[in-house]
A and B are shown apart, each in its own frame.
Chain A
């Protein structure tokens, strides 16, 4: 036999892959220039990016941070970067950023909204994270009263006496349902606080204030503004709309004809009209609905209407959660012999709410963006303030810097929340 062999016996040295198949070249070929239309698209996109950035970046960075008027701004930009350069006048933000955040809230009391904001995060924690003990929910329940007192000031005894009303109702319910029947307990739970609010709450607060005066300097609603106002309206609206939304969603799902019709009518009515008409109602009509002589605060009126608006949307979100629960859960609860409220409280709602959290966050984002509409009825939210700042003779004609700043802040808030809701959605997925 010969020594010929057609089979290679030794390994060849490994050669590097062709340049067109590695690294950035491969990536470019696959992702940007895989075909002719794709290449055209890529070039168009590159041109769009270049066009935008080449106009935007010089404007952003050839800017003035230290002027006191628009004229001075333009002069200093022209001096620094040559005649004819247009640059942003960020000085207006530097001068007015506190106003854009707090409105006309007294400067020496800024710690109050700040503290309220931090406490809000603490109050939200037990709702958002399961690992925190449920005892902290008590703080969450008390938080609205604390925040109210911090923001509006006045005597501490007013919020305390309102809390006392609820505590009294709870105590009355416990005592009477043990002594008599559960129904009597429920009725007492509703009647006792109402009696307390109507006849005793105000005078009790006055008496306590006389004995132990604790109060903060009170701040009137007209001074509220800026992002503080947006956050206040948004958070209050969403927080109060949650219980109303749950009730409406349950009503919409129930077999009771009349209850269902009322709930469907309310939800469809609110969802059918724009928020701005409801805000008009808040600014012009709401006082007419109350007994003659009542005149309450514009922010409170706006919050009432925003809450009603949000609760219709919240009802739909929660209805989605209820519909997504497997039927077995309802039947399982029935077979355990639970009545409607027990089943709802122990089995249905905890699961339905858990499923709905991402959508609740999205509807909060929507509501937070919609709070800008209050500028149309004359409240000083960031957009209202931007008009206000432009009316100042030194800053007359400044547009882009203000709109840009407001847009960026809104974007940061909303984008962060939408990412959080996406994260929750992934985390809550208990499917297969």
Chain B
């Protein structure tokens, strides 16, 4: 006879910490935590020791000292007498500027190229394949340098615009100057009453959205389709233009003019900004094109055939049936492409564009010798930007995602 004894409930033996699955995970976690904390503590104490030896204990007061260097591309007021913190802010805004411009352009080019890659036109689809493979397989740093070099070599110097028989001339009715130092475009100047025009413009955008909703409801109820695109276009432009002329042209344009050896006035986009923007856009667009292509190919063929059987035109099949479904596949990899573009914008330092890496991680770091603090802030800023982008895009992704049970 065998007697079955209940497992002994009361007694806790130390060996149970290892051999009993109820406690083992706890043991492992505590060991991991202690090991992790010891490692962190070791690193921190080493760092503190080293920094103390060098006579520069951790501190962020250097941020409020005058920076003493100029930044040639800036969105907010800045001069060399302002603080390092202000210089960093200029850098952050510059990073965001190039990231935003880059994301928009990359999306437009990427979607176009991705669609054209699937075109039935043999020549076009091959050309797009060459573009995609060419850009994807060469380092982005090299593309940035090449774009910058092209910019400097191809466009004329500002002094070529001088004199009676100038070698170069301004484009677009003398409003835009393309020089190898950068591009000068007219900047808006605001007079009294310009606020009203902008208010009308914003109101017409709101009106456009409401009109879209109303037209949709009407279509669902009556089945009639209005030419929404043209009506929206009219709502977008007509009121603002009317207001502009009624109020007596309150918004003017300041044209760039050649003064001395350089252009003055207007809005100045430095060559490094444009080179970086183009290179990042073209590079990322190649990746986006691939995700767009695979997204479109992921939509089952039966979907577009069924839409055709219902009698929809090709354009409507694409916009109403294929793209909405493809979008769900496209968005998650697109998020990571936007993140990559933002992170790659840190290569601005190679062409001298003063983004956050160039200001805080470059000149401020070298001038103050505060490597620890500068890099900590730099990483924190990039982390914050990355997390913000991914949060926003994930929220959008959740909205368009197929609602599964």
Inter-chain contacts of A407 with B (CB < 8 A): 138, 142, 146
- Return chain A residues, CB-CB under 8 Å to B28: 256, 259
B379 touches A415 (CB 8 A): no
Distance between A387 CB and nearest chain B CB, rounded to angstroms:
9
A31 to B138, CA, bound (A): 30
State whether the Cβ of A205 lies closer than 8 Å to any Cβ in chain B: no
Contact B32 A277 (CB under 8 A): no
Q: Which listed residue (B141, B146, B371) contacts A285, Cβ 8 A?
A: B371
Q: Is the Cβ of A375 less than 8 Å from the Cβ of B141?
A: yes
Chain B contact surface mostly = helix
A280 to B360 Cα, complex, angstroms: 12
Query: Which residues of A lie under 8 Å from residue B153 when comparing CB positions?
Result: 399
In the complex, what distance in Å separates the CA atom of A46 from the CA atom of B122?
11
Residue in A274, A281, A292, A400 whose beta carbon sits within 8 Å of that of B357 in the complex: A274
Minimal beta-carbon separation of B369 from chain A (angstroms): 10
CB-CB < 8 A to A41: which residues of B? 119, 121, 123-124
Interface string of B338-367 (1 = CB under 8 A from A): 010001101101100000010001000100
Give the shortest distance, in Å, between B385 (CB) and chain A (any CB).
Answer: 8
- Of A1-9, A343-351, A364-372, which binds chain B? A364-372
Residue of A276, A277, A289 touching B43 (CB-CB under 8 A): A289
Given A284-B375, A289-B46, A372-B141, A277:B382 Cβ within 8 A: yes
B33 and A418 contacting across the interface, CB-CB below 8 Å: no
Complex Cα distance, B375 from A383, in Å, reads 24
**Contact A272:B349 (CB < 8 A) given known A46-B123, A370-B139, A415-B137:** no
Q: Are B121 and A42 in contact (CB under 8 A)?
A: yes
In the complex, are the beta carbons of B142 and A258 less than 8 A apart? no
Q: If the complex has contacts A375-B141, A403-B146, are A411 and B134 also in contact, measured as CB distance less than 8 A?
A: yes
Contact with A along B122-160 (1 / 0, CB 8 A): 111001000001101111111001100100010000000
Q: Which residues of B contact A281 (CB under 8 A)?
A: 375
- In the complex, are the beta carbons of A400 and B149 less than 8 A apart? yes
Residues of A within 8 A of B121 (CB): 31-32, 34, 38, 41-42, 45
From known contacts A273-B379, A274-B343, A289-B46, infer whether A259 and B141 are also in contact, taking CB-CB under 8 Å: no
Known A-B contacts A46-B123, A256-B28; the reply to A289 vs B361 at CB < 8 A is no
**Chain B nearest CB: distance from A242 CB in Å?**
21
CB distance from A412 to the nearest CB of B (A): 8
Partner of A414, one of B29, B137, B349: B137
Nearest-neighbour CB distance to chain A for B365, whole angstroms, equals: 8
The smallest C-beta distance from A268 to any residue of chain B, in angstroms, reads 8
Do A48 and B127 touch across chains, with their CB atoms under 8 A apart?
yes
- Measured CB to CB, the nearest residue on chain A to B30 is A258
Which residues of chain A come closer than 8 Å to B189, judged between CB atoms? none
* B6 close to A (CB within 8 Å): no
Contacts of B133 in A (CB 8 A): 415, 418
Q: Which residues of A sit under 8 angstroms from B33, Cβ to Cβ?
A: 258
- For window 46-91 of A, CB contacts with B under 8 Å fall at 46, 48-49
Do A272 and B387 have beta carbons less than 8 Å apart? yes
Map CB proximity to B onto A353-377 as digits: 1 under 8 Å, 0 otherwise: 0000000000001000110110110
Tell me the bound Cα distance from A376 to B344 in angstroms. 13
Alpha-carbon distance A287/B372, docked complex (angstroms) = 11
Question: Complex Cα distance A195/B337, Å?
Answer: 46
B residues near A285, Cβ cutoff 8 Å: 371-372, 375
Pick the interface stretch among B47-55, B71-79, B200-208.
Answer: B47-55
Is A257 among interface residues, defined by CB-CB distance under 8 A? Answer: yes
Q: Is the CB of A410 within 8 A of B36?
A: no
Question: A32–B349 Cα gap in the complex (Å)?
Answer: 44
Q: Which residue of A lies closest to B141 (CB)?
A: A372
| Chain B, residue nearest A43 (CB) | B123
A262 at the binding interface (Cβ < 8 Å): yes
Contacts of A289 in B (CB 8 A): 43, 46-47
Chain A: which residue is nearest B18 at the CB level?
A: A183
Q: Are B141 and A284 in contact (CB under 8 A)?
A: no
Cα A298 to Cα B339 in complex, Å, equals 28
Is there an interface contact between A45 and B29, defined as CB atoms closer than 8 Å? no
Judge if A423 is at the interface, Cβ distance under 8 Å.
no
- Tell which of B18, B36, B137, B357 has the most Cβ of chain A within 10 Å: B137
Q: Which of B47, B119, B142 contacts A288 (CB 8 A)?
A: B47
The answer to whether A255 has its CB under 8 Å from any CB of chain B is yes
Whether B145 contacts A383 by the Cβ 8 Å rule is yes
Which chain A residue lies CB-closest to B349?
A: A376
Q: A255–B153 Cα gap in the complex (Å)?
A: 58
Q: Are A403 and B142 in contact (CB under 8 A)?
A: yes
CB distance from A35 to the nearest CB of B (A): 10
Q: Does B120 lie within 8 Å of A45, measured CB to CB?
A: no
Q: Do B343 and A45 touch (CB < 8 A)?
A: no
Are B120 and A277 in contact, with the CB atoms below 8 A?
no
**Are A292 and B50 CB-contacts (below 8 A) given A277-B375, A407-B146?**
yes
B123: contacting residue among A30, A42, A287, A415, CB under 8 A? A42
CA distance A407 to B29 in the complex (A): 48
Q: Please, how many angstroms separate the alpha-carbon atoms of A34 and B123 in the complex?
A: 12
Smallest CB–CB gap between B103 and chain A, Å?
16
Interface pair B46/A258, CB less than 8 Å apart: no
Contact A365 B137 (CB under 8 A): yes
User: Shortest Cβ distance from B27 into chain A, in angstroms?
Assistant: 10
Chain A residues whose C-beta falls within 8 Å of the C-beta of B194 in the assembled complex: none
* Interface status of A269 (Cβ within 8 A of chain B): yes
User: Please, how many angstroms separate the alpha-carbon atoms of A347 and B18 in the complex?
Assistant: 24
Q: Which of B1-55 contact A (CB under 8 A)?
A: 18, 25, 28-30, 32-33, 36, 43, 46-47, 49-51, 53
Question: What chain A residues lie within 8 Å of B50 (beta carbons)?
Answer: 287-288, 292
Q: Does A124 contact B (CB under 8 A)?
A: no
Decide yes or no: A273 and B49 within 8 Å by CB, A373-B141, A376-B349 being known contacts. Answer: no
Contacting A292 at CB < 8 Å: which of B46, B137, B383?
B46
**B383-A32 in contact (CB<8A):** no
B137 pairs with A383, CB closer than 8 A: no
Contact of A291 among B18, B46, B122 (CB under 8 A): B46
Contact A31 B141 (CB under 8 A): no
Q: How far is the CA of A268 from the CA of B387 in the complex (A)?
A: 9
24 A-B pairs within 8 Å (CB atoms) are namely: A31-B120, A32-B122, A41-B124, A183-B18, A259-B32, A272-B386, A272-B387, A273-B382, A276-B361, A277-B346, A280-B361, A280-B378, A284-B365, A285-B371, A287-B50, A288-B50, A289-B47, A292-B49, A365-B137, A369-B138, A369-B139, A383-B142, A399-B153, A418-B136
Further pairs besides A42-B121, A288-B51, A376-B350: 14, Cβ < 8 Å: A32-B121, A32-B122, A42-B123, A45-B121, A258-B32, A272-B386, A272-B387, A273-B379, A273-B382, A274-B382, A284-B375, A288-B372, A400-B149, A414-B138
**Taking beta carbons and an 8 Å cutoff, which residues of B are in contact with A?**
18, 25, 28-30, 32-33, 36, 43, 46-47, 49-51, 53, 119-124, 127, 133-134, 136-142, 145-146, 149, 153, 339, 343-344, 346-347, 349-350, 357, 361, 365, 371-372, 375, 378-379, 382-383, 386-387
Seen from chain A, the residues whose Cβ lies within 8 Å of a Cβ on chain B are: 30-32, 34, 38, 41-42, 45-46, 48-49, 183, 255-259, 262, 268-269, 271-277, 280-281, 284-285, 287-292, 365, 369-370, 372-373, 375-376, 383, 399-400, 403, 406-407, 410-411, 414-415, 418
What 6 A-B pairs are tightest by C-beta distance, nearest first? A414-B137, A31-B122, A274-B343, A272-B386, A369-B139, A274-B346
